[in-house]
Amino acid sequence: MLILATDEQKIERDLLAHEAWGQGLSPEGFAERERRLRAQAWASEVMLTWLLVDEGGQILASCETFRMESALYPKSGTPIKGSTYGVASVFTEPRLRGRRYASTMMGLLPEALVARDPKALSIILFSDVGPAIYARVGFVQRPAFDWVFEPLEGDPEEGVELVGEDEIGDALSVVPKPASGFVVWPTAGQIDWHLERERVYSTLLGGDRPTGSGARAGGSVALWACNFKSKELFILLLHANGTRELQAIVRSARRTAHRVGLSRVRIWEQPVAAPWPQGPEGFERRPRDGGLPMLRPLDPRVSPEDWEVIPKALWV
C-alpha cells in the first residue's frame, strides 16, 4: 500500500537515507539539508513524500514527488496543460533491498498521482542507477549528453551582466518557452530550489558562493547553481540568440567556476542546433552517466519521444 508520510516519518527517513546521499555530511548535516530543502518555498508547495508499507504498517520503501508545470502541444489544436511529477530520492533500507520493493512502489505511484490529480500528464525522473529498474515499470529513457568545460581565469562580469538571486524571475522571462512536443518547464521557484541546495552546501561544506546566479548578454541568458558536493557549476537553463552572446555567457560561467574553486562547468545538451551548430568554444561532449532523464506517461496522448527539451533546472 502507498501512503503519504507524516512529518515525523520524513525525519526518520532522512536519518536512514544518509548512507545513500549524505556523502561529505554528518547525519545531522544531512538531516539539516533535507529540512531546509523541504522548507524552501517552491518545495513546500509541490513536494510529497510517499511510503510503501505492508499490512502491518512497516515502511518498505520511500520516494518524493515534485509537481511541475507541463503541456502537450499537438500538431493541430489547443495545447493540453497539466501537471508532471518529478520523482526523487527513491530509497529502500539496505536490510530490505533485493525484494523489488522500490519497483512495487513505482508501479503503484501512477495510480496514486492520478487519483490526486486527474489532469496529471506524466511522471519524470533522473536515474543515477541506470534505466533498467525504471523501464520495468513503464519509464522510457531519453537521450542524455553533457557539454563540459574547464574553469577559466578572468572577470565573470566581463562582457555580461550578472543575474542576482532576486532577478531570477526577470531573467527566466527572457527564455522562450518551447511550444512543440511535450514540454515540462521550470518556474523561478524551482530555480531557487537549486540555489537553496547551493546555499545549504555552502554552509555545511564551507564553499564560497558566487556573486551571480547567472549572466545576461543582450537577449541571451543563462542561470546556474554551484554543486559543492561534485565541485561543478551547473548551467540550469540557457538561451542564446547568437554565437557571440553564447560565448560571453559561457566564459562568464567558466570564470565564475574558477573564482569559487570549482573543477568544471556542465551544461545538459539540448536538441537545438542554432545558433551554435558546433557548440561553444572549449567544450567536451560526454555521454551522461548519471541523472538519466526518463518519462512515464500518465495521459495516453503523451509520448516519451516528444519530450526533447530537458534542462538541468528540471532535475530534482
pLDDT tens digits, residue range 262-272?
Answer: 999 999 998 76
Q: 312 lies in a domain? A: no
**pLDDT(118) > 70:** yes
Asked, for residue 63, whether it belongs to a domain, the answer is: yes
Q: Please tell me whether residues 24 and 76 are part of one structural domain.
A: yes
Q: What are phi and psi of 297, to 5 degrees?
A: -65, 140
pLDDT in tens, 283-310: 899 999 999 999 999 999 999 999 999 9
Task: Answer yes or no: is 316 within a domain.
Answer: no
pLDDT of residue 280: 66
Q: What is the mean pLDDT of residues 8-25?
A: 96
Q: Backbone phi, then psi, for 43, in 5-degree steps?
A: -60, -40
Average pLDDT over residues 124-148: 96
* CATH number where 102 lies: 3.40.630.30
222, 182: one domain? yes
Q: What residue type is assigned to position 99 of the chain?
A: R
Whole-structure pTM value: 0.96
pLDDT in tens, 231-250: 999 999 999 988 899 999 99
- Please determine, for residue 27, whether its predicted confidence score (pLDDT) is greater than 60: yes
Q: 216: helix, coil or strand?
A: strand
Residues 186 and 264 in one domain: yes
pLDDT over threshold 60, residue 111: yes
pLDDT tens digits along 96-108? 999 999 999 999 9
| Structure confidence by residue, pLDDT tens digits, 53-62 | 999 999 999 9
The answer for residues whose C-beta is within 8 angstroms of residue 20's C-beta and 6 or more apart is: 91
- Identify whether the C-beta of residue 212 lies closer than 8 Å to the C-beta of residue 162: yes
| Judgement on whether residues 71 and 100 belong to the same structural domain of the protein | yes
Q: How far apart are the first and last CA of the chain?
A: 24
Whether the pLDDT of residue 23 is over 80: the answer is yes
- Under 8 Å between Cβ of 265 and 148: yes
Confidence of residue 273 (pLDDT cuts 50, 70, 90): very low
Same structural domain, 227 and 258: yes
Tell whether the model's pLDDT for residue 279 goes beyond 90: no
* pLDDT tens digit sequence for 146-161: 999 999 999 999 999 9
Residue 306: φ, ψ to 5°:
-85, -10
pLDDT tens digit sequence for 220-235: 999 999 999 999 999 9
- Please report, rounded to a whole number, the percentage of residues in the chain having pLDDT higher than 70: 97
- Give a yes or no: residue 272 inside a domain: yes
| Domain presence at residue 35 | yes
Residues of 278-310 as b/e, b for ≥16 C-beta within 10 angstroms? eebeebeeeeeeebbbbbbbbbeebebebbebb
According to the model, what pLDDT value does residue 282 have? 77
Domain that holds residue 61: 2-141+290-307
Give the model confidence (pLDDT) of 160-175 as tens digits: 999 999 999 999 999 9
Q: Which pLDDT score, from 0 to 100, does residue 272 have?
A: 61
Share the mean pLDDT of the chain. 95
* Same domain (yes/no): 279, 298: no
Please give the tally of structural domains in the chain: 2
Same domain for 161 and 279, yes or no, is: yes
Give 75-102 pLDDT, tens digit per residue. Answer: 888 999 999 999 999 999 999 999 999 9
Would you mind telling me the total number of residues written for the chain in this entry? 316
**pLDDT for the residue 276:** 53
